[in-house]
Amino acid sequence: MKIGIDASRANEKKKTGVSWYAFHLIQELKKIIPDNVQVVLYSRESLQGELVNLPDNWTQKVLKWPPKKFWTQIRLSWEMMFHRPDVLFVPAHVFSIIHPKKTVMTVHDVAAVKFPESYNWFERWYSVWSARVALKKLWRIIVPTNFVATELKKQETRNKKQKDNIFAVHHGYDKRYKKIEDEAKIVDVLEKYGIKKPFIMTIGRIEEKKNTKRIVEAFDELRIKNYELRLVLVGKPGHGYEKVQATIGQSEFKDDIITPGWVDEEDLSYLINSAEVFVFPSLYEGFGIPVLEAMACGTPVVASKGSSLEEVGGEAVLYVDPKSVENIAETIKQLIDNKELREEKIKLGFERVKEFSWKKCAEKTLKILIEENQ
């Protein structure tokens, strides 16, 4: 049996959510795929970093494509036409036009339906089209939560007899995220980014969908109420960044709002460990790995209700109406003021993250890839 895996996203240098999912999943699959199964990793450039270390039954195949755009649709399709594996696994939600009958794709969310303004017209159209066609055409689809499974099924209203081909498989988190006792290293990392305690923080694109503007406004509310805090916004600019930038510029406390941009993965755990509260009131999430990372670091979490985050955080997280600045600010305030509540949520968080791992994710994924009857 031969399994082909699209490793293009896993091979990216500056990884974010989907890229890390693909990377960690491949690394765990290396440990559990049987020796009698051949695996081919397809990528645009030569594999780098830890991906290079392959078991004997694994090979890499670099599919060079000078135009760069439409690598999946054209170059990977060309490969599938002449050298087709028994099963093709695509960890990101864009599949090749030509593909094996047994193709499995991960659809991480259907955010383009809920937030079309966050994407250019092509990204919006292609993302929605890809999800809908996948429902009809692909052998199996993996989603990160039951929430996304429900959302995805809503996209095919005309098909009265829906295919039972959607499987919910929870993500894991990087075990580098944990409680850290090395205070000297924490101080070094904070100095590196010009951050002083105490502070609250969030991770994700600085944009409308991530609700960054309301995070800034909630921070202002706390400062007005004499909470001596700083706000750290980790992430690159996204759609609606101009509105966030304007809100920061108008803030009386703008000098205490730090925007370090993309932060090295090695440093993020130290930053989260140092935060008073991790704030994640996103308007839409398919999973929300940062919530797991914060809980693993022993930092209490404020997250939004109404999407997948309640499925991830369980009782360990305090949930808010993401459209209410007052609710966001008041809930952060609770976790700062109420020591018992804070300790309770931290303890529950440590227990909650035990339910999630990339090992579990890989084991469930492998069953979907190789077992005929699920």
What averages of pLDDT result for each successive group of 10 residues across the chain (374 residues)? Answer: 96 88 97 97 95 97 90 94 96 89 93 68 69 85 95 69 83 95 94 96 93 97 95 92 94 96 92 98 94 98 95 98 97 97 98 97 97 68
Task: Give the other-Cβ count within 10 Å of 228's Cβ.
Answer: 8
Helix 212-224 vs helix 325-337: crossing angle, to nearest 10 = 60
Residue 267 lies in a domain: yes
Residue 178 lies in a domain: no
Residue 230 lies in a domain: yes
Query: In this structure, are 7 and 149 located in the same domain?
Result: yes
Residue 228 has a pLDDT of 94
Query: In this structure, are 87 and 203 located in the same domain?
Result: no
Hey, what are 374's tokens?
């699920």
Residue 201, φ and ψ in degrees, nearest 5? -150, 165
Query: In this structure, are 151 and 197 located in the same domain?
Result: no
Cα distance between residue 233 and residue 193, in whole Å: 12
Query: In this structure, are 219 and 103 located in the same domain?
Result: no
Residue 189 lies in a domain: yes
Total domain count for the chain?
2
Query: In this structure, are 111 and 187 located in the same domain?
Result: no
Cα distances from 22 to residues 3, 11, 27, 29, 345, in angstroms, run 15, 9, 9, 10, 30
The runs of H, that is alpha helices, within the chain are: 17-32, 77-82, 111-114, 121-137, 146-153, 183-192, 212-224, 241-250, 265-274, 289-296, 309-313, 325-337, 339-352, 358-370
Contacts of 52 (CB under 8 A, 6+ apart): none
Residue 154 has a pLDDT of 81
Residue 116 has a pLDDT of 64
Cα distance between residue 291 and residue 301, in whole Å: 7
What are the beta bridge partners of residue 90?
105
Query: In this structure, are 100 and 213 located in the same domain?
Result: no
Cα distance between residue 88 and residue 358, in whole Å: 20
Residue 95 lies in a domain: yes
What are the beta bridge partners of residue 2?
38
Residue 371 has a pLDDT of 85
Hey, what are 75's tokens?
């170059």
pTM: 0.90
Handedness of CA 218, 210, 354, 327 (dihedral sign): positive
Q: What is the CATH number of the domain that holds 257?
A: 3.40.50.2000
Query: In this structure, are 160 and 234 located in the same domain?
Result: no
Cα distance between residue 57 and residue 63, in whole Å: 19
Structural domain range at position 17? 2-172+357-370
Handedness of CA 95, 101, 105, 111 (dihedral sign): positive
Residue 54 lies in a domain: yes
Cα distance between residue 191 and residue 13, in whole Å: 25
Query: In this structure, are 167 and 225 located in the same domain?
Result: no
